[in-house]
Amino acid sequence: RIMGPELRRVLVLFDSDITSAVAIRESFADRRHYQVGAVSADIHQVSQFDDWQARISQARQQGYDALIIGLYQTLRDEHDRVMDGQQVLAWTAQHSPIPPFAFWDFSVGPDKAIGGLVQFGQVQGEAAASLALEILAGAKPSSLTPRAAENGQYLFSRSGLARWQLQLPEELLDKVYWTE
């Protein structure tokens, strides 16, 4: 609804860490192509920062209308060292030829992603704490299933929306949290 009917293809990028693999398995049933109405999403995991850069730099040429940033904290540089996540995020926000959105609250803000229906680390921590309390009360860990927060919240950056000349639909405005 934010980008209007011209939104047709979305590039979703994750690093190649196990956390990303689990997120893709749990959220997308391990599918690398996803269709939601008229919008198709291609989901990719990459391990190297130069691959991340190339995919983003070529996104518009490859027909993508928007970028969704998954996890990016374990991308590696040309010396196989883990990149600083904030550097990856800043480069992505500065160089993306298409509007960047995000899944996580820590990825949204000035010089970061525009926003999205995001998960908050605190809510995820509360879900993990409830599991820990069950174990401390005597439950066997093998008897428990993974638990994640079910609902996200709308979080947006005013400067990100302005940069991309996007406006939120009126019906979302009273549901949005702002980074600035």
What's the pLDDT score for residue 154?
93
Give the span between the Cα atoms of 10 and 160, in whole angstroms: 18
Token duo for residue 37: 């109405």
pLDDT score for 165: 95
Helix/strand/coil for 8: coil
pLDDT at 142: 83
Beta bridge partners of 82: 76
Identify the CA nearest to 130 among candidates 115, 154, 149: 149
Per-residue pLDDT of the chain (180 residues; tens, 9 = 90+): 888 888 999 999 999 999 888 888 877 778 889 888 899 999 999 999 999 999 999 999 999 999 999 999 999 999 999 999 999 999 999 999 999 999 999 999 999 999 999 976 665 677 677 778 888 898 888 887 765 555 688 999 999 999 999 999 999 999 999 999
- Report d(CA 84, CA 72) in Å as an integer: 9
Q: What is the SS3 assignment for 96? A: coil
